[in-house]
Amino acid sequence: MPINFLAGQVLVFDKPLGMTSFGLVAKVRWLLTRAMGGRKIKVGHAGTLDPLASGVMLLCTGRATKQIETLQAGTKTYEATIQLGATTPSFDLEHAIDATYPTDHLSRDVVEKALDAFRGDIMQVPPVFSACKVEGKRAYDLARKGQDVALQAKPIHIYEYVLTDYRDDTHQADVRIVCSKGTYIRSLARDLGEALGCGAHLTALRRTAVGDHDLSHAFTIEAFEAWLATQDIDTQLPA
């Protein structure tokens, strides 16, 4: 049976490291338009990923874009690496380290105990280098211009925050996080560093699931292009 992207499809992608969310949407839209003989099609995403993060992104085509809000509300699952003992302005590797702190008091047990405070319903202040809007302008645009940005704390829910590995020699913590919509993993790294009194920033982030959609059935861009070439595509919009 022909596949109809105009009628609406939810596609699961594994966004590569270094690509923006907009870049992935634009690439997929271009591939679909080409496969449909130049027919224009609406494509949107159900939740962004930073360029320095990889993993699951849901893209909706045609009429399925109406499902975006519902899909965005699903839980997100992440695997992350947090570097303890140093901070950056963006809470990740987008910016260079701006301060370092003693780490002699750290251990796996100390870190695991600190995670307890971040489970359940919590309030979180988003990073200033984020897409949050301040008086109609993106916070990261203001921050990159050197302006002071004050963002309000927002309620989120952390279902799971587990230490999966801790390296005493480098003070790097690998964690698994299951959280609600609107959670910034960079902010969780910052807050963990503050709780431990040593500062912290994110050095790696991979989203492994959005709701019931996970990496096991996610397309790479290359795999999607190859798959698309084998499909019988219906280019007519259903009534």
Measured between alpha carbons, how far is 138 from 202 in angstroms, rounded to an integer? 21
Would you call 98 a catalytic residue per the annotation? no
Average pLDDT value for residue range 5-32: 97
pLDDT at res. 102: 97
Model pLDDT for residues 52-73, shown as the tens digit of each residue: 999 999 999 999 999 999 999 9
Q: Is the pLDDT of residue 130 over 60?
A: no
Structure tokens, 232? 């019988």
Q: How confident is the model at residue 117 (pLDDT cuts 50, 70, 90)?
A: very high
Q: How many CA atoms lie within 13 A of 170 on its CB side?
A: 10
Cβ neighbours for 127, distance < 8 A, ≥ 6 positions apart:
90, 91, 139, 184, 186, 187, 190
> Residues 196, 200, 201, CA angle at the centre, nearest 5°?
155
Q: How confident is the model at residue 239 (pLDDT cuts 50, 70, 90)?
A: confident
Residue in 47, 11, 24 with CA at minimum distance from that of residue 231? 11
Q: CA dist 122 to 111, 116, 162, 177, Å?
A: 18, 11, 16, 14
Helix axes 221-228, 21-35, angle to 10 degrees: 10
- Annotated catalytic residue, options 14, 50, 92, 191: 50
Average pLDDT value for residue range 97-104: 97
Q: pTM for this structure?
A: 0.91
Model pLDDT for residues 161-199, shown as the tens digit of each residue: 999 999 999 999 999 999 999 999 999 999 999 999 999
Place of tokens 């699903």: 74
Out of 34-43, 122-131, 137-146, pick the least confident: 137-146
Q: In this structure, how many other beta carbons lie within 10 angstroms of the beta carbon of residue 85?
A: 21
Q: How confident is the model at residue 128 (pLDDT cuts 50, 70, 90)?
A: low
Measured between alpha carbons, how far is 118 from 226 in angstroms, rounded to an integer? 42
Average pLDDT value for residue range 97-118: 97
Residue in 176, 166, 172 with CA at minimum distance from that of residue 207? 176
